[in-house]
Amino acid sequence: MGWSSRATAAKRAKAQPHPTRFNGAASVIEAEVAKALGPGYLTETGRRKRPGSRLVDVGTGTGVYLSLSAKEPRLEGYEVVGIEPSPHLLDHARAAHPTLRFHAGTAYAAQEADASADVVTANFVFIHLRSPDLALLEIQRVLRPGGLLYVVDVNDATFRGPDPIAQMVRAHHAHHEGDRTIVASELRRWRYTWRARKKMRPWQHARASARRSGRSWRDDLAIHEFVDSTRVALADLRHRMVLHNCDLGPAVAATAFPALPHAAEVARAHAREDLGADVSLAWWLDRCDPRRLPRERERSSDALVQRACERWSLREPDGPRAVLALLELPVSFAPSHDALARAVFANSAGIALVRAVLGPPREEFGRSGNTVVFDPAYCAEAMIYQRYRRIPSLAELADTLSPTLDLDLEALVTSHSPMAGEVL
């Protein structure tokens, strides 16, 4: 994103009492970005209006970006809604834009119904999140099928904006930890040239399995979306090392969908269709270099469970034990790859999987006889942080893969005679 006038931005910033302090008017960064975007910044969406069309702006702040969206000609007739966790910013947004609707909510809990939005916008939100994967899962829940996610963000490593805005970004980061290189991670997709045997979308997998089983394709769609869910955490095809296998992926799918007895079978067929052969988790880890993994600071499972019980004041350790059992499930399928197997779920993608498998926050009995709210995903994040003293990304695990992975997989598919001539 270019900046039209650094001198103008700096001059306007001097008029503000403090570049990092909200003073009742639009912040420096929102004012300057709004000017840089100008009218028409959403005109590439090309969304077709239909009765009840809605746009939801996550992390709307003072409502500057939402007001820009409401003025877009192609979004005329849309109901626009802003979501903001800060009560102070919500009050200002409602006062500044009385014709627009705002309500409290976060990127992890938008307080919106399932499939209720045609367009979701997120302006300078993801760089402030510790678990952007969970936010993407929440946005996926809110979006209707075929909906659009529009993201504007920056990468600190290449940021060349006005100095006052750069100072504001650094000051914010000093107090609020987040993944401030999330945009740069998108560039990793170009480093990986593995050509997939078949690039099938979840609905295409569902239709293929429906033809084989006689079930409705809608019955299996959720399972196929779950197997492909790790692509949210990693843009390139290396995300398949987590659930695209014949052992771990089916086991996790069976746990995530206990009411569907065919979940493991469907997940196994999904991986076979994408890879062209039955590939085990150990096969993937055989092609990883454990020396490139982040160093573990805490290896004791009992210490992780005890710390979680103390953190939430839980009477029984069942909740933390279930979280740890899921995080360490890959070890049971690849015991010879101890550290690598623990790293399969001990990352940002693993946190999202814990939320998908173990569900949302729930009430548990506390030590003092009261009830406390226990969040399995937040517990997983705390355990991973305690183990590594940070939250590794899935890309860090994928970067340990051998550069000859594509050749190894091609050789496996060629030598796998039952699949060699099969049309999937």
- pLDDT per residue over 57-72, tens digit each? 999 988 988 888 888 7
Residue 11 has pLDDT above 90, yes or no: no
Closest CA to 200 of 257, 148, 281, 271: 271
| Contact present, 63 and 102 (Cβ < 8 Å) | yes
H/E element holding 379? helix 376-388
pLDDT digits (tens, 9 = 90+) for 73-100: 777 788 999 999 988 899 999 999 999 9
Tokens 């910013």 belong to 89
pLDDT of residue 342: 93
pLDDT digits (tens, 9 = 90+) for 108-152: 889 999 889 988 998 888 877 767 767 888 888 898 887 888 887
Question: What burial class does residue 108 get, using C-beta atoms within 10 Å of its C-beta: 0-12 exposed, 13-18 middle, 19+ buried?
Answer: middle
Residue 394 has pLDDT above 60, yes or no: yes
Residue 255 has pLDDT above 90, yes or no: yes
Least confident of 37-41, 268-272, 310-314, 410-414: 37-41
Task: Please state the rounded mean pLDDT for residues 348-374.
Answer: 90
Q: Virtual CA dihedral for 300, 304, 310, 316, nearest 10 degrees?
A: -100
Closest CA to 226 of 261, 267, 187: 267
pLDDT of residue 28: 45
pLDDT of residue 275: 84
Alpha carbons 247 and 349: distance in angstroms, whole number = 18
pTM for the full predicted model: 0.55
Alpha carbons 51 and 43: distance in angstroms, whole number = 20
Percent of the chain surpassing pLDDT 90: 33
Residue 106 has pLDDT above 60, yes or no: yes
Please name each of the domains of the chain with its CATH number: 6-190 (3.40.50.150), 202-287+402-420 (no CATH), 292-398 (no CATH)
pLDDT of residue 262: 93
Percent of the chain surpassing pLDDT 70: 73
Task: Please state the rounded mean pLDDT for residues 276-292.
Answer: 89
Q: Positive or negative, the Cα torsion across 95, 100, 103, 108? A: negative
pLDDT of residue 277: 82
| Contact present, 92 and 24 (Cβ < 8 Å) | yes
pLDDT of residue 407: 62
